[in-house]
Amino acid sequence: MTLAALAAIASGCSRTEGEPPKPVVRTVYVKPELSPESRKVCPPLQDKPDRQMSEAEVFGKWAADRTARNVCETRRAAAVAAVDAVVTP
């Protein structure tokens, strides 16, 4: 009896007429938007002092300032270029 019930359930759920329905695929193109702030260039470097700088000051402050600014500008410019390169049909 259990076997007959399972067979009835399986046959009731199976689809016998025509082709199975095709899946619905929907493509949506979304262009990301950047805030105007992100398009601004990173702040310029500060001028080098008119005095002799110690080695510790050069490597601790001045070089770190230059490196941070260059990394900031490289990342910012790459992010803006990636967003601008998105093509929507």
Percentage of the residues of the chain whose pLDDT score is greater than 70: 80
Where residue 15 falls among pLDDT bands split at 50, 70, 90?
Answer: low
33 — phi, psi (to 5°)? -115, 140
pLDDT tens-digit profile of 45-70?
777 778 888 888 777 777 777 788 88
Distance, in Å, from the CA atom of 10 to the CA atom of 59, rounded to the nearest integer, reads 76
pTM of the model: 0.46
Across 10-39, average pLDDT: 76
**Predicted pLDDT of residue 71:** 85
Q: What are the boundaries of each domain within the chain?
A: 33-38+52-89
Distance, in Å, from the CA atom of 73 to the CA atom of 79, rounded to the nearest integer, reads 10
Which string of b and e fits 47-67 if b means at least 16 CB within 10 Å?
A: eeeeeeeeeeeeeeeeeeeee
